[in-house]
Amino acid sequence: MKFQIKSRWDSSKVIFETEIECSADTYEGVKRGLAIRAAIKSGAVLSGADLSGADLRDAVLRDADLRDAVLRDADLRGADLRGAVLSDAVLRDADLRGAVLRDAVLRDAVLRGADLRGAVLSDADLRDADLRGAVLSDAVLRDADLRGAVLRDAVLRGAVLRGADLSDCPVKIANIHQKVYAAASLPNALDMGSWHATDSCGTTHCRAGWVIHLAGDGGRALEYVMGTPAAAAVIYMASDPTLEKVPAFYCGNDDALEDMKRLAEAEATAVEATP
Task: Note the pLDDT tens digit of each residue in 151-209.
Answer: 999 999 999 999 999 888 889 999 999 999 999 999 999 999 999 986 656 689 999 99
Q: What is the pLDDT, as a whole number, of residue 98?
A: 98
Q: What is the pLDDT, as a whole number, of residue 25?
A: 86
- Does residue 227 fall inside a structural domain? yes
Q: Is the pLDDT of residue 24 over 90?
A: no
- Does residue 166 fall inside a structural domain? no
Average pLDDT over residues 49-66: 97
Indicate the number of domains in the chain: 2
Q: What is the pLDDT, as a whole number, of residue 198?
A: 66
- Does residue 14 fall inside a structural domain? yes
CB 82 within 8 A of CB 101: yes
Task: Give the single-character DSSP code of 156.
Answer: -
Alpha-carbon span 57 to 98, nearest angstrom: 10
Q: What is the pLDDT, as a whole number, of residue 197?
A: 82
CB 65 within 8 A of CB 86: no
Q: What is the pLDDT, as a whole number, of residue 33?
A: 96
**SS3 breakdown of the chain: % helix, strand, coil, rounded to 5?**
30, 15, 55
Q: Cα angle vertex 95, ends 141, 251, to 5°?
A: 60
Mean pLDDT is lowest, of 15-29, 53-67, 74-88, for 15-29
Average pLDDT over residues 223-243: 93
Q: What is the pLDDT, as a whole number, of residue 173?
A: 96
Whether this model's pTM surpasses 0.85: yes
Considering all CA atoms of the chain, what is the largest pairwise distance in Å, rounded to the nearest integer? Answer: 71
- Does residue 32 fall inside a structural domain? yes
Average pLDDT over residues 114-133: 97
- Does residue 237 fall inside a structural domain? yes
Domain hosting residue 2, numbered range = 1-64+71-78+91-96
- Does residue 146 fall inside a structural domain? no
- Does residue 4 fall inside a structural domain? yes
CB 229 within 8 A of CB 208: yes
- Average pLDDT in the chain: 94
- Helices 207-214 and 228-239 cross at an angle (nearest 10°) of 70
pLDDT over 90, % of the chain? 88
Alpha-carbon span 122 to 2, nearest angstrom: 37
- Does residue 121 fall inside a structural domain? no
CB 51 within 8 A of CB 70: yes
